[in-house]
Amino acid sequence: MSDAKPSDPIPSDPEPSDPHTTGAMHNQLSDEYWMRRALDLAMRGLGRVEPNPMVGCMVVCDGREIGQGWHQRFGGPHAEVHALSALTPEQVCRSDLYVTLEPCAHHGKTPPCLDLLLKLRPKRVIIAMLDPFPEVSGRGVAGLRAAGIVVDVGCLEAEARHVNAPYLKRLETGLPWVIAKWAMTLDGAIATETGDSKWITGEVARQRAHELRSRVDAIVVGSETVLKDDPLLTARLPTSMEIPRVAKRIVIDRRMRIPVASQLVRTASAIRLCLVTTQEEVEAQTAKANQLKSSGVEILALPQDVRMGGIGGWLRHLGQQGATNVLVEGGGSLLGSLFDGGWVDQVDCFIAPRILGSARAARPVAGEGSLWVSRAQQLERVHVEVCGVDIHIQGCFPRKRPPTDHF
């Protein structure tokens, strides 16, 4: 059973097969079983290892597990090191090693895993996918094969790519993985017409949302959300639960309306806050801009020409700063622009069994949308979870088209 939280990318595959299945399919089914175990282990690193990839490893001898490990924290030992740490060379040389990503072949914050494997020489190494990171990218596999070690690549590759989709996207595009999150009533309202929204969902669902916050690099809202709700945008969890990382708060505010007295600005010296606006607005409100900066606010001033900045501008800025996962919490106009432009990768929607009614109630996604149901954006790998009395729906979009800019 996976330890992955509901906010994690969710594999939607059938249960693993019995590793002791006999017959012609034995090796394939056995490999898939152990690789699924390794993928489950990899998920434990979510929120702890980024911008590194999540990696899990299983060591199997004569059909039995003798070692396991996963990449536990950024800068720490890799999965293979943890999995092999308690084993003797005699045990390893008789074993198969299952790893969800190609072993690294370069010196980074830790020595190459390739060197360890060449020293211990497992009987066979089964790898879910190659690592496209330029300093690895096939070198790990080539090094193992050159030493005469049997290497199989591609076992559950699609699942492995899904687990590390945020890492792969940032490597390929320089952009972080964008998660759109909202909570709404059964009839699709996120607030009443007066702006009241506390609380639409119950305590269990709200804790899930805070767990999601605790695993991302940045939390993004529009200026309207700041003006209406005065949010703090932090992860607040029970003291017994770990908060793996503290997200940077981002406010998209092209007219620089954020109040200096807001909770966000008042806490900017302790918790990072970035205001995304235009260069024209900074020049028009110099005094306020200086006041915000003196409070610890970072101001990202994009060119007035949105084709040179806009959503792509601040997302690339976050990617350049090392962000892998970005959580966008609204409001409707901001989410509408993200959906219209094709920027969203994942949706986490919490639905409460309430009916609010009213044509004037606030809705989660605005924008242009689609005129045809057949052209609606369709989620894949959908996972549905009951959170107390509420429902949590999570899914991802296939990456098919390049996104377009809006501000």
Tens of pLDDT, residue by residue over 49-86, are: 999 999 999 999 999 999 999 999 999 999 999 999 99
E-strand stretches of 325-367: 325-328, 346-352
Residue 370 has pLDDT above 60, yes or no: yes
Task: Report H helices in 71-190.
Answer: 79-84, 89-92, 113-120, 139-146, 157-163, 165-173
Residue 12 has pLDDT above 50, yes or no: no
CB distance 322 to 176 below 8 Å: no
**Sequence spans of domains, the chain:** 26-166, 176-396
Equal CATH topology for 26-166 and 176-396: no
When pLDDT is averaged across residues 322-328 and rounded to a whole number, the result is 97
Residues 6+ apart with CB under 8 A from 112: 103, 104, 105, 106
Reported as a pLDDT band with limits 50, 70 and 90, residue 25 is low
pLDDT in tens, 84-94: 999 999 999 99
Residue 315 has pLDDT above 90, yes or no: yes
The CATH number of domain 26-166 is 2.60.98.20: no
Reported as a pLDDT band with limits 50, 70 and 90, residue 107 is confident
Report the percent of the chain where pLDDT is more than 90: 82
From CA 271, how far away is CA 221, in angstroms rounded? 15
Which pair of structure tokens corresponds to residue 244? 């793996």
From CA 100, how far away is CA 43, in angstroms rounded? 11
Q: Which residue has the higher pLDDT, 38 or 242?
A: 38
Q: Counting Cβ atoms within 10 Å, is residue 239 exposed (0-12), middle (13-18) or buried (19+)?
A: exposed
Residue 217 has pLDDT above 60, yes or no: yes
User: What Cα–Cα distance (Å) separates residue 133 from each residue in 98, 137, 158, 171?
Assistant: 20, 6, 18, 7
From CA 375, how far away is CA 348, in angstroms rounded? 21
80 annotated active-site: yes
From CA 53, how far away is CA 64, in angstroms rounded? 27
Residue 406 has pLDDT above 70, yes or no: no
The per-residue pLDDT of the chain, averaged, comes to: 90
From CA 211, how far away is CA 221, in angstroms rounded? 18
pLDDT in tens, 337-349: 999 999 999 999 9
From CA 258, how far away is CA 351, in angstroms rounded? 29
Per-residue confidence (pLDDT) for residue 26, from 0 to 100: 53
From CA 15, how far away is CA 104, in angstroms rounded? 29
Of 152, 221, 151, 141, whose CA–CA distance to 181 is shortest? 221
Task: Give the range with max mean pLDDT: 13-17, 26-30, 335-339.
Answer: 335-339
Of 335, 238, 150, 21, whose CA–CA distance to 326 is shortest? 335
Residue 98 has pLDDT above 80, yes or no: yes
Which pair of structure tokens corresponds to residue 406? 């809006």
369 phi-psi bin (left φ>0, alpha ψ -120 to 50, beta other): left
Per-residue confidence (pLDDT) for residue 22, from 0 to 100: 47
Per-residue confidence (pLDDT) for residue 5, from 0 to 100: 44
Q: What is the DSSP string of 231-281?
A: --------TTS----PPEEEEE-TT----TTSHHHHTTTTS-EEEEEEHHH
Question: Exactly one of 32, 50, 80, 281 is catalytic; which is it?
Answer: 80
We find that the CATH architecture of domain 176-396 is 3-Layer(aba) Sandwich (3.40)
Q: What number of residues does the chain have?
A: 407
